[in-house]
């Protein structure tokens, strides 16, 4: 399985956009990485209005982010 790039990740979700006054495709942005999970924001792909948010309860990214296997470099 290919490793996903978490920056600029797209998700084909449709949500109602109050500015476009119709359901549009949304972009998912990672807002916060917390011990309890990740917080995402959904924005309209056409006008950029925030149309919703989501928490997932997967702490994997948090621990990956806070404890990077980075050896000291010279
Ligand atoms: Zn819109």
Listed residue (28, 29, 38) closest to 61, CA to CA: 38
Map residue 69 onto helix, strand or coil. Answer: coil
Ligand 1 ion local residues (Cβ < 5 A): 17, 19-20, 24, 44, 46-47, 49
Please report the pLDDT score of residue 9 as a whole number: 52
| CA 16–ligand 1 middle distance (angstroms) | 8
Any domain includes 33:
yes
Please report the pLDDT score of residue 59 as a whole number: 81
Any domain includes 55:
yes
Please report the pLDDT score of residue 8 as a whole number: 53
pLDDT for residue 74 is more than 80: no
| CA 45–ligand 1 middle distance (angstroms) | 7
pLDDT for residue 6 is more than 60: no
Domain range enclosing 45: 10-66
Structure confidence at residue 4 as a pLDDT band (50, 70, 90): low
Any domain includes 2:
no
Q: What are 40's strand-pairing partners?
A: 30, 54
The predicted-structure confidence for 7-51, as pLDDT tens digits, reads as follows 455 555 788 999 999 999 999 889 998 888 889 999 999 999 999
CATH of residue 23: 2.20.25
| CA 22–ligand 1 middle distance (angstroms) | 8
Any domain includes 73:
no
| CA 74–ligand 1 middle distance (angstroms) | 48
Domain count, the chain: 1
SS3 sequence, 11-39?
EEEEEEECCCCEEEEEEEEEEEEECCEEE
């Amino acid at each position: 399985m290919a490793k996903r790039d978490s920056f600029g990740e797209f998700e084909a979700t449709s949500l109602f956009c109050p500015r476009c006054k119709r359901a549009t495709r949304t972009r998912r942005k990672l807002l916060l990485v917390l011990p309890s999970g990740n917080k995402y924001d959904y924005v309209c792909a056409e006008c950029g209005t925030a149309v919703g948010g989501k928490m997932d309860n997967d702490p994997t990214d948090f621990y990956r982010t806070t404890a990077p296997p980075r050896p000291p470099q010279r």
